[in-house]
Structures are given as C-alpha cells and as structure tokens.
C-alpha cells in the first residue's frame, strides 16, 4: 500500500508500535480481538483497528504538499478536509482558508477568487456544480483533489448501474458533504434519491408497492431527489449505494429490505432485472473499524472512550455501537477530560457537549475500551491514555509497558 507523508505531530510512537505488532501477527486481518495495555489497577483495551485510514492519510499528504508547493499563494479548501478539529485547526494556522462550512454554506464568496488561487477538494469529494463554478474562474481544481478513492469507488459503482437504466438510492446522511457529493455525481447520470435510515426505507417501500399515494412523495422526501425523478416510473429498476461511513449493518438491512420490496412487486424470479447487485460500497476502514469494535465489545469493561470529531460520521457510528453495551464517552481531545471525576463528551446525535460527573468508576481495577475514528490522529489516543494514567499515578508503569511495545 502507498506510503504517505503525515506530519509527525499526528503520530504516536506507542500506538504505531502496537499497530505494527498486531499487523505482523495478523497479516490477513482476521483477528478482531483487542490489544491490552495492562497497568495493573488500570487496563486499556484498544480496538484491533482504529485511527487514520488510507483516504485520510492521502488527503493530509496532498494538502500539506500543496501548501509547500504554493508558498505565497492564497490556498483554499472547499470545506473541512476531514472531520477532525486538530487537523483542520493546523491547516488554518498554515494559512489555508475554508470556502464553505460543513453544511455547504458559503464562508468566503467565490467572487473573491482569482485564477491565481489554489483550491483543494476535501476527502469527502464535492459536487459537480461547485466544481464547475471553480473551473469557470480558471482554477484547476482537479490538480489538488484529495477525494478518498473509496468515495470515488462508490461514484463508479453508481455510474455502472446508471448506464443500465437503474434508479439510484443513496443510503446516507442528507446534509453530509460526502452524501451531497455522491448525490451530485449520481443525479447527473440517473434519477437519484437519498434515504437516511431504515424508517425512511420503509416509507419508500410503501410508495414502491403503491401503499402510499405518489402525491405524498414530495412531502416525505423533500429535497432528497433530483428534478428528473418521477416516482411513477423510476421505481421499476433500483440499486443501492451508500455514504462510505455508514453502519455496515444498516446499509445491508436497507438494501435487503428494498430488494424484498422489489421481489414482492415484480416476483422473486425477476428481482435481478429490477434490483441492481451493487454489493457493499462501504470503505475497508469503515468495515475494519466497525468489526474491530464488535470484537472489542466482547471484552468485559467498565466504560468505553471513542475519540473523533463530533461531526465525524464514522466516529459517531462507533459510539453508537459501544453505547449499546456500556457507558461511552465521545471526545475529540484529551482536554475534554477535566479530571478524574469530570469529562465533557459530545452527544453523537445532537452534536452538543455534555458535562458528565463520576465517569470513572470508584473501584480497581478499572477497565476501559478505546477506539477512534478514521480521521483521528493516533497522538490523540496516546494523550487520552496518558491523561487518565496520570490520575492513577501509573506514569512510570506506562513507560515500562510502552517501552516493551516499542523495542
């Protein structure tokens, strides 16, 4: 796999050593059991897979090279490159400016740009409409394109089924940058609709089967489909693709459900003609991280800590999985841990911050499950470990255990 130049400030010698050792022991990635950092009174269980993925490292590598190659020029990102506060703050400090917020609202007017400026496409990709506007200014936007290859893979899959006359159903969060980009690329080729979850998929199924009047379609799915979409004729052939960071089980359930709906309407023997076999379009990192959390949760523990940006979709789904079993704290930095008694966590649904008291159990030993999202630097994981270790005065023990991993 290609090697990327990622700033050392995002790396952790301890976490890198642990990952490398696990990789050597499990080259086929079939072992999803966690890694134990045993400090006696305090035990950390790290998920088998977590942290920076291929797409994120690719984006960081391109962004930092772009800065180095264009000194003296104005450099813009269409929006946050990835959903991680440390990385985005670092880019801002280096003079990079964001043209839009995460919802696509303009921060800097495109009218102020000139053909001498540099514009970077973020890892989520962007819409064809915005790309065209940047190109019209005279800026070669594809020159600095950090779109994740696995997002582009989804677009390619969409193109394939669009050419065969299928309507595309996107399982994704409608306001997420990646979903907006995927919708733009799909809608340029074929009728396209976004469904957020199984609840909406069930409503869609009722429209397909005629159990709900088509006159209500625009009310239920307002702003979720393109202008050419006609529910009276465009449910004859459908295929499902997704936002790459969704829960694998959710996407599979939605795909299976809609396939059954199509089988009911056209007959099971004809389903292949009316439902496209898109297979799973989740990226490898999303699959690995989610599978690793499933393996992590087999370990008995007191609490779980998930690290990642509050707007990070893949991180939020890891929190969702952990919360089903034990108290979980979603944080983006070690500074969210105030002391041994208080922590400020993000609510993965509302994105609001919540102060929680007595998050660490008053007993020994304390066992903590840990993982992080695909856009979270490993140094954040290490800093969180060190912060908690300091409360138990086990710093020397951590150095001893860490040295064994690094040697």
167-to-67, 129, 279, 306 alpha-carbon distances in Å: 40, 21, 16, 37
* Pair (251, 157) in one structural domain: yes
Torsion angle, alpha carbons of 284, 290, 292, 295, to 10: -140
As a whole number, the mean pLDDT across the chain is 94
Q: Which residues have a Cβ under 8 Å from the Cβ of 212 and sit 6 or more positions away? A: 203, 206, 220
* Pair (296, 402) in one structural domain: yes
Question: Does residue 3 lie in a domain region?
Answer: no
Single residue among 88, 118, 144 that ends a domain in this structure: 144
Whole-model pTM: value is 0.91
Taken as a whole, the chain contains a residue count of 407
Distance of CA 400 to the CA centre of its chain: 34
Question: Does residue 2 lie in a domain region?
Answer: no
DSSP-assigned letter for residue 334: G
* Pair (89, 161) in one structural domain: no
Rounded to the nearest 5°, which phi and psi values hold at 44? -110, 130
* Pair (248, 197) in one structural domain: yes
Residue 180 has pLDDT above 70, yes or no: yes
Residue 201 structure tokens: 């998929």
Question: Does residue 279 lie in a domain region?
Answer: no
DSSP-assigned letter for residue 270: G
User: Total domain count for the chain?
Assistant: 3
SS3 186: helix
Strand-strand pairing, 328-331 and 238-242 = unpaired
Question: Does residue 400 lie in a domain region?
Answer: yes
* Pair (397, 296) in one structural domain: yes
List the catalytic residue out of 178, 200, 320, 382: 178
Neighbours of 85 (CB within 10 A): 18
Single residue among 122, 144, 166 that ends a domain in this structure: 144
Question: Does residue 165 lie in a domain region?
Answer: yes
Residue 1 has pLDDT above 60, yes or no: no
pLDDT in tens, 115-173: 999 999 999 999 999 999 999 999 999 999 999 999 999 999 999 999 999 999 999 99
Question: Does residue 194 lie in a domain region?
Answer: yes
- Which residues partner with 43 through β-bridges? 38, 367
282-to-148, 171, 240, 264 alpha-carbon distances in Å: 12, 11, 12, 27
* Pair (113, 34) in one structural domain: no
**CA 247 – CA 347 distance, rounded (Å):** 17
Q: Would you state the pLDDT for residue 280?
A: 64
Averaged over 393-401, what is the pLDDT?
95
Cα–Cα–Cα angle for 127, 253, 307, nearest 5°? 65
Neighbours of 257 (CB within 10 A): 16
* Pair (129, 204) in one structural domain: no
Question: Does residue 24 lie in a domain region?
Answer: yes
* Pair (334, 379) in one structural domain: yes
List the CATH number of the domain containing 354. 3.40.1010.20
Residue 281 has pLDDT above 80, yes or no: no
Cβ pair 377, 51 in contact under 8 A: yes
- Which residues partner with 371 through β-bridges? 306
Provide the phi-psi class of 231: left if phi over 0, else alpha when psi is between -120 and 50, else beta: alpha
> What angle in degrees, to the nearest 10, is found between the helix axes of 54-69 and 85-93?
10
Residue range of the domain that includes 184: 149-274
* Pair (288, 342) in one structural domain: yes
Question: Does residue 1 lie in a domain region?
Answer: no
Single residue among 251, 274, 297 that ends a domain in this structure: 274
321-to-48, 286, 336, 375 alpha-carbon distances in Å: 15, 13, 21, 18
The strands making up 97-98's β-sheet, listed across from edge to edge, are 97-98, 75-77, 118-120
- Which residues partner with 357 through β-bridges? 342
* Pair (227, 293) in one structural domain: no
**CA 53 – CA 49 distance, rounded (Å):** 10
H or E element, residue 63:
helix 54-69
pLDDT band, residue 77 (cuts 50/70/90): very high
List the CATH number of the domain containing 139. 3.40.50.11270
pLDDT in tens, 222-277: 999 999 999 999 999 999 999 988 888 899 999 999 999 999 999 989 988 999 97
Active site (annotated) includes residue 178: yes
Q: Which residues have a Cβ under 8 Å from the Cβ of 255 and sit 6 or more positions away? A: 171, 240, 278
Averaged over 382-392, what is the pLDDT?
97
* Pair (122, 188) in one structural domain: no
* Pair (47, 59) in one structural domain: no
**CA 73 – CA 160 distance, rounded (Å):** 39
Averaged over 284-296, what is the pLDDT?
90
pLDDT in tens, 353-377: 999 999 999 999 999 999 999 999 9
């Amino acid at each position: 796999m290609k090697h990327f130049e990622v700033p050392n400030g995002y790396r952790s010698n301890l976490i890198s050593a642990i990952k490398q050792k696990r990789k050597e022991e499990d080259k086929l990635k079939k072992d999803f059991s966690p890694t134990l950092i045993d400090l006696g009174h305090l035990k950390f269980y790290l998920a088998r897979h977590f942290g920076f993925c291929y797409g994120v490292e690719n984006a960081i590598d391109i962004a930092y090279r772009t800065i180095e190659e264009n000194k003296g020029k104005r450099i813009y990102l269409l929006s946050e490159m990835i959903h991680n506060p440390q990385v985005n703050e670092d880019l801002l400090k280096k003079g990079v400016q964001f043209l839009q917020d995460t919802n696509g609202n303009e921060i800097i007017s495109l009218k102020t740009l000139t053909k001498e400026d540099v514009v970077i496409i973020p890892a989520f990709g962007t819409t064809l409409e915005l790309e065209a506007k940047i190109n019209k200014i005279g800026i070669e936007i594809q020159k600095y394109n950090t779109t994740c290859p696995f997002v582009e893979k989804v677009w390619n899959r969409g193109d394939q089924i669009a050419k065969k006359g299928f309507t595309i159903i996107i399982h994704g969060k409608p306001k997420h940058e990646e979903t907006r980009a995927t919708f733009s690329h799909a809608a340029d080729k074929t009728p396209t609709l976004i469904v957020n979850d199984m609840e909406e998929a069930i409503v869609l199924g009722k429209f397909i089967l005629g159990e709900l009047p088509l006159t209500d379609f625009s009310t239920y799915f307002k702003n979720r489909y393109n202008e050419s979409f006609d529910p009276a004729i465009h449910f004859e052939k459908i295929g499902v693709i997704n936002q790459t960071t969704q829960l694998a089980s959710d996407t599979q359930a939605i795909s299976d459900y809609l396939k059954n709906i199509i089988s009911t309407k056209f007959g099971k023997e004809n389903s292949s003609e009316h439902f496209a076999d898109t297979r799973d379009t989740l990226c490898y990192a999303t699959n690995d991280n989610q599978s690793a959390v499933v393996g992590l949760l087999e370990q008995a523990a007191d609490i779980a800590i998930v690290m990642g940006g509050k707007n990070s979709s893949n991180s939020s789904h890891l929190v969702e999985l952990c919360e089903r079993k034990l108290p979980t704290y979603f944080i983006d930095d070690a500074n969210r841990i105030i002391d041994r008694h208080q922590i400020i966590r993000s609510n993965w649904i509302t994105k609001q911050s919540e102060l929680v008291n007595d998050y660490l159990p008053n007993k020994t030993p304390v066992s903590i499950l840990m993982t992080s999202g695909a856009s979270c630097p490993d140094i954040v994981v290490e800093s969180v470990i060190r912060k908690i270790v300091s409360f138990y005065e086990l710093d020397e023990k951590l150095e001893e255990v860490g040295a064994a991993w690094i040697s």
